[in-house]
Structure 1
Amino acid sequence: MSSNKNALIRYKTLDRCLKNRFRNYTLEDLMDECSEALFEFEGKESFVSKRTVQLDLQNMRSEKFGYEAPIEVYDRKYYRYSDPEYSIHQIQVNESDLKAMNNAIQILKQFKDFSMFKEMNGVIQKLEDSVKSVQEKSIIHLDKNERLRGLEYIDVLYQAVVSKKVLKILYKSFNARDANYMTVHPQLLKEFNNRWFLICWHKNKLYNLALDRIEEIQTEDGTPYVEKDFDADRYFGEVIGVTVSETQRPQNVVFRIESRNAPYVITKPFHNTQEILEEDEGHVTFRIRVQLNFELERLILGMGESITILKPIKLKERIEKSLQLALNNYKTV
């Protein structure tokens, strides 16, 4: 057993003894009680030394763990709480703690309408009642689209990842004429730009499935689950968004932003590899190193006339073509 878990069991045992007004406990008695509690938990002999109990009592008295327990010695050898109502399991909070908890509650309440957080509503309400929250107007607002298709699947997908369940999903991509069944091994739920994706293992390859394109989910209980050694930070580290190529290497993307819009890109970088190459009166030139994908192009096009791609040529030509098509659309209306 870890030393931390040992300590928690000892503290719980000492707390029980110190608030017991029907028995007197010496230091040796407390040693025996702690040793017995550890034996009951571990199923093997565990001797708690005098020094260990003394240090535990000292820690409980101190501010180290926020207890500040009123432990006293009476009749020169017995230990107890001077306050018979005290217990280390009572929440001791000050005004600063209450403010911090109230702020956390306001953030949690932003998620209560999502199905995956429905069971937390009661917990949030209890917390709100406990800290006597009187704040009626929300001062933190997180962006969410409650009408987005596929949110109803988050619960079952989340549980499938946690429980390591294989799923049979009826999926229709934007480019497909018909929906097809896929047997997948869920690995991760990923949110990007207000859309949710399931990262899953399918036919010896990782896929990302948009939840708004899922039409049906079934559990495949008879199929063994394949768990991948999946590090999300590393997997998505070379891309913007969720589209990752197993064969494409990251490239240096050099782009120029008008000076008046450059602060937006500086304070909210396109990617963690972003760096400034050059600054002049009218523009700031940046570089990022990423794979070329759909999300990168959407991000660039969203900047409109404020951005100019310099490298690579392939990306520059694709953006130029998209802008030309957009211009042609405006010419026809």
Structure 2
Amino acid sequence: MPDNKKPSIRYIIIDRCIRNTARDYGLSELLAAVNEELIDRGVEPIKSRTTIYTDINDLEFQFNAPIEKVQKGNRTYFKYSDPNYSYGNQPLNQEEIEHLRDAANILSKFSGVPGFDWIHDITSKLEIGTFKESGDPNVISFDSSEFLKGKNFIGPIFHAIVKKKVLKISYQKFKSSKEKTHQVHPYHLKEYDSRWYILGYLPHIDDLITLGVDRINKVEVVKNDSFIDNERFDFVDYFEDLIGIWKEKDVKPINVKLKFSKKMSDYILTKPIHGSQKERSLDDGSLLVELEVIPNYELENLILSFHSHVEVLEPESFRNRIIELITDAKSKYE
């Protein structure tokens, strides 16, 4: 089991506990919370409350944490006098920047390996992030939803996937007034259109379930349930013929033929809609595109997002579906 000499993990856990206004944390509670997560991460737990007390002093004096002691009876608890403070918002020091650059170099070795296409984006962000900490913070920004509901669950879910932990997930669909609980063996996290999704195995249906993270109300690790390893689902293949996330069972890919206007053609050429895309330029500057994809809600939304700059040519069933959606939208303005 790895040792616990690196205090940064403990700082993160302690910071999270102190920011939690729903309960009180003294040294004993912080020690228990830290050790629970350290053990869960496969890290040697700490044995003394003195270590926690030293970490609190480090947060206060090295990272300017506005920690105050609150006396309740014979117990002393820790709170932040500034509720907006977070250890995670502190700027990186030079040593941490160098560590991130080293991490980027290591991760870059995986570029091009099937299933690791995301590595290129991560390493780019790491390189840019390290420059951002030491340079102008206004150089670049990323398209992300800062206020996405449920984003606080992404870390615990990722950790459960890596550590092979069964999760109890409280989930509430957008149009449902009732919450439902799923006991999920988590296999995969997927981001699409600035939203995150978890794909996991449900033994009682012997199949995958897809849950939007923004509809999750609670995530808990199930400690007395054995994790079922993923030996059936290849997520590279799973998403290969898909735009977006949602996939109806037993629905096969179709050949979709589209015609894009001259104004839109360069955008489609420089940012293909899908990996299966084949294109042919016409004399009038328009562009014919063929895709081999599974028809779903996200594909429909994508086609509609191009407005009058695209026409669905084939298949007739999908063309009629788009006509139906456009007609319905048009009726709302009549």
The TM tier, using the shorter chain, reads 0.5 to 0.7
Provide the C-alpha distance between the structure 1 equivalents of 2:92 and 2:314, rounded to a whole number of angstroms: 52
SS in 1 for 2:198: strand
The match for 1:309 among 305, 308, 312 is: 312
**Which residue of structure 2 aligns with residue 197 of structure 1?**
197
Q: Which protein has the larger Cα radius of gyration, Structure 1 or Structure 2?
A: 1
Superposed counterparts of 1:51-66, under 5 Å: none
What is residue 249 of structure 2 aligned with on the other side? 246
Give the gaps of 5 or more residues in structure 2. 1-86, 100-129
Matched residue of 1:216: which SS?
strand
Does residue 297 (structure 1) correspond to residue 300 (structure 2)? The answer is yes
- CA positional deviation for 1:200: 0.8
Deviation string 1:247-277 (CA, Å, 9 cap, x unpaired) is: 1111101011111111111111110110114
Q: Partners of 1:121 and 1:238 in 2: how far apart?
A: 42
- Structure 2 residue matching 1:140: 3-state secondary structure: coil
List alignment gaps of at least 5 residues for structure 1. 1-117
**1:148–1:225 distance in 2 versus 1, CA, 3 Å:** same
- TM-score, length-scaled by structure 2: 0.59
What is the distance in 2 between the residues matched to 1:294 and 1:173?
16
1:212 aligns to what?
214
- Which string of whole-angstrom CA distances, capped at 9 and with x for unpartnered residues, describes residues 126-163 of structure 1? 34489997522332211111101010111211111111
Identity value in percent: 29
Structure-2 residue corresponding to 1:166: 166
- Equivalence for 2:223: 221
The answer to whether the Cα contact below 8 Å between 2:168 and 2:182 also exists between their aligned partners in 1 is: yes
Partner-residue secondary structure (3-state), 1:187: strand
Any idea what the Cα deviations from partners look like across 1:190-218, whole Å, max 9, x if unmatched?
Answer: 11110001111123111221011111222
SS in 2 for 1:330: coil
Instruction: Quickly say closer, same or farther: Cα 1:292–1:142, change in 2 above 3 A.
Output: same
Counterpart pick for 1:276 among 275, 279, 293: 279
Tell me by how many angstroms 1:246 deviates. Answer: 3.4
Give the conservation status (yes or no) of the 8 Å contact 2:265–2:285.
Answer: no
| Letter of the structure 1 residue corresponding to residue 212 of structure 2 | A
CA apart distance, 1:329: 1.3
**1:1-333 correspondence runs (5 A):** 126-128=95-97, 134-202=134-202, 203-229=205-231, 230-277=233-280, 279-281=282-284, 283-331=286-334
Task: Supply the distance in 2 between the matched residues of 1:181 and 1:147 (Cα, whole angstroms).
Answer: 24
User: Aligned partners of 1:192 and 1:125: how far apart in 2?
Assistant: 33
Runs of 4+ in 1 over 4 A off after TM superposition: 118-125, 128-134
Label 1:129 to 1:253 Cα distance change in 2 as closer, same or farther (>3 A).
Answer: closer
SS of structure 2 residue aligned to 1:154: helix
Partners of 1:184 and 1:210 in 2: how far apart?
A: 13
* Alpha-carbon distance between aligned partners in 1 of 2:283 and 2:327, rounded to the nearest angstrom: 28
Per-residue deviation, 1:120: 9.5
Q: Deviations over 1:215-262 (max 9, x none)?
A: 122222112111213432211001001112331111101011111111
**How far apart in 1 are the matches of 2:183 and 2:192?**
24
**What residue number does 1:70 align with?**
none
Distance 1:124 1:141, change over 3 A: farther
Residues 136, 225 of structure 1: alpha-carbon distance in 2 compared, 3 angstrom cutoff: same
Q: Which amino acid aligns with 2:321?
A: R
CA–CA separation in structure 2 for the residues paired with 1:201 and 1:138 = 42
Could you say which residue in structure 2 is the equivalent of 1:31? none
How many angstroms does 1:323 deviate by?
A: 0.9
Q: Distance in 1 between matches of 2:239 and 2:282?
A: 29
Whole-Å separation in 1 of the counterparts to 2:222 and 2:299: 35
Q: 3-state DSSP class of the match of 2:332? A: helix
Secondary structure class of the residue paired with 2:263: coil
Count matched residues: 215
RMSD over aligned Cα atoms: 2.5
